[in-house]
Amino acid sequence: MLTSGDSGIADDDEAPSLDQGMLLGLMGRELRVTYLAVFRRVEDQLEKVGITPQQFALLVVVERNPGARQTLLAKARGLDKSTLVPMIDRLERDGLLERRPLANDRRVRAIWITERGKQILDAAIPVVRESDDLVRGSLTESERAQLLKLMEKIRIGIEDSAASARGNDAAA
């Protein structure tokens, strides 16, 4: 259920909202709408600190894994290594991360967080926590646990279906 009307979009005036048909009943749509609401909220809040949610996530992983190589970071973030390059370029240019050569293996350019990066991260963490607590605060403790459980069940269902599809492919 959304704020008003039946469209899900702010229907300012008397604009006749359109019929959304079968879209309304879909679980996927509910997940999308909810995820986007949460994501945009974090995005907005993080703007104050000057980073994006993706940059935040990368900073967290780099801080926890000092000197990690880019290939691993990409994997950890679920991105292609080529996608990480401009992200790190940007954060390096802004002075939050640093590329440093490795003595043993001169192909590697290990990634380190800078002092500035740590400061930004320290400023960002409470912001992210605050947004996440807003989500948590909308639920009781048991509801929160329930939600996590249900989302996990959904993911497992999808993984299993993908796995059996692969099985069929292999058998075919």
What is the 8-class DSSP label of residue 7? T
Bridge partners of residue 101, in order along the sequence: 109
CB of 121 to DNA, least distance (A): 17
Q: Under the criterion CB under 8 A, does residue 125 sit at the interface with a second copy?
A: yes
Q: Which residues contact 66 (CB under 8 A, 6 or more apart)?
A: 112, 113
CB of 146 to DNA, least distance (A): 28
Longest CA–CA separation in the chain, Å: 68
Query: Which residue in 126, 161, 166, 167 binds a second copy (CB under 8 A)?
Result: 161
CB of 143 to DNA, least distance (A): 29
The C-alpha atoms of residue 54 and residue 75 are separated, in whole angstroms, by 14
Structural tokens at position 51: 């980073």
Q: Which of 64, 58, 69 is nearest to 110 (CA)?
A: 69
Site residue total, a second copy (CB under 8 A): 70
Residue 77 or 144 having the CB closest to DNA: 77
Q: Which of DNA, a second copy, none is residue 128 near (CB under 5 to 8 Å by kind)?
A: a second copy
The C-alpha atoms of residue 49 and residue 33 are separated, in whole angstroms, by 25
Binding positions for DNA, rule: CB under 7 A: 52, 54, 69-72, 78-83, 85-86, 88-89, 99, 104-110
Q: Under the criterion CB under 8 A, does residue 30 sit at the interface with a second copy?
A: yes
Q: Which of a second copy, DNA, none is residue 112 near (CB under 5 to 8 Å by kind)?
A: none
Please report, as residue ranges, which positions from 74 to 103 form the binding site for a second copy (by CB under 8 A). 75-78
**Phi/psi of residue 118, nearest 5 degrees:** -65, -40
Q: Which residues contact 114 (CB under 8 A, 6 or more apart)?
A: 95, 96, 97, 98
Query: Binding residues for a second copy, per CB under 8 A?
Result: 1-3, 7-9, 11, 15-23, 26-28, 30-35, 37-39, 41-42, 57, 60-61, 63-65, 68, 72-73, 75-78, 125, 128, 131-132, 134-139, 143-144, 146-148, 150-159, 161-162
